[in-house]
């Protein structure tokens, strides 16, 4: 891998050669995923290396350039560091222009978030409203079944045909009530499972 690098003067964003302070500051920024103690040890090491080369007669900029570019040094350090010493989710500081965009765009994305949350809550409430309606239909069928059978028995004393018709209607409603019960049970289990999944994910996110 060493042969793939081309040594160039170490410069800052303005094209000027870096001082020791600028080099160490940039290196610290690129090593933010390492533990603080590890970062300090690395910075002290390269600080002493630059000081030694300055004592040998090099200027500050020449001593910094002889160490290598910031990106190359940082890549080498990260490559040598065991994965378990690195942070799982390195935090990157927001740049000024990113903060500005977030502030200026906040009315838009906040409105979108509120709208999305409102839609989600509405869909969730609508789901439970459907479940309640299904159970209401089931209760109505049970009532019709009981009413039909009881009414048919009473009506049979007056008219056999009317009584038979009412009893038949009651039995039909009872059959539909059984099917409706199975459907209501499945729908209720489904939305309860969905609710559990949503709250489980929220708990895991916290």
- pLDDT number for residue 91: 56
Same domain for 111 and 191, yes or no, is yes
Same domain for 100 and 32, yes or no, is no
Q: Give the C-alpha distances (Å, rounded to integers) separating 71 from 63, 74, 89, 136, 160.
A: 16, 5, 20, 68, 97
Q: Where are the beta strands (DSSP E) in the chain?
A: none
The predicted model scores a pTM of 0.44
Classify residue 186: in a domain, yes or no: yes
Classify residue 91: in a domain, yes or no: no
Domain end residue (candidates: 85, 109, 136): 85
Classify residue 13: in a domain, yes or no: yes
Q: What is the pLDDT along the chain (206 residues), one digit of tens a residue?
A: 343 433 444 554 444 578 889 999 999 988 888 888 888 998 999 999 999 999 999 898 888 888 888 899 988 988 887 776 666 445 556 677 777 877 777 788 788 889 888 888 888 888 889 999 999 999 999 999 998 889 888 887 788 788 888 888 889 999 999 999 999 999 889 888 887 887 675 555 55
- pLDDT number for residue 16: 59
What is the SS3 assignment for 171? Answer: helix
Give residue 163's domain range.
96-205
Domain end residue (candidates: 85, 109, 140): 85
Radius of gyration of the chain (CA): 37
Dihedral, CA of residue 29, residue 34, residue 40 and residue 42, to nearest 10: -90
Classify residue 162: in a domain, yes or no: yes
Classify residue 24: in a domain, yes or no: yes
Same domain for 27 and 105, yes or no, is no
- pLDDT number for residue 203: 53
The helix or strand, by DSSP H or E, that contains position 196, with its residue range, turns out to be helix 160-205
Same domain for 130 and 48, yes or no, is no
Domains in the chain: how many in total? 2
Classify residue 100: in a domain, yes or no: yes
**Is residue 29 within 8 Å of residue 22, measured between CB atoms?**
no
Same domain for 119 and 172, yes or no, is yes
Of 162, 161, 167, 163, residue with least CA distance to 149: 167
């Amino acid at each position: 891998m060493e042969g793939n690098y081309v040594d160039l003067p170490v410069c800052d964003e303005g094209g000027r050669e870096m001082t020791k302070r600028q080099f160490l500051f940039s290196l610290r920024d690129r090593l933010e995923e390492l533990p603080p103690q590890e970062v300090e040890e690395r910075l002290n090491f390269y600080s002493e290396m630059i000081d030694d080369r300055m004592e040998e007669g090099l200027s500050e900029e020449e001593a910094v350039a002889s160490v290598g570019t910031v990106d190359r040094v940082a890549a080498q350090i990260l490559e040598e560091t065991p994965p378990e010493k690195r942070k799982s989710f390195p935090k990157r500081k927001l740049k000024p222009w990113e903060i500005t965009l977030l502030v200026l765009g906040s009315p838009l994305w906040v409105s979108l978030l509120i709208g999305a949350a409102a839609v989600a809550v509405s869909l969730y409430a609508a789901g439970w409203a459907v479940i309640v309606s299904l159970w209401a239909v089931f209760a109505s069928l049970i009532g019709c079944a009981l009413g039909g059978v009881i009414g048919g028995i009473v009506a049979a004393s007056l008219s056999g045909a009317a009584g038979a018709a009412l009893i038949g209607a009651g039995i039909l409603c009872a059959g539909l009530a059984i099917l409706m019960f199975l459907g209501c049970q499945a729908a209720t289990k489904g939305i309860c499972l969905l609710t559990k999944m949503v709250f489980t994910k929220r708990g895991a996110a916290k």
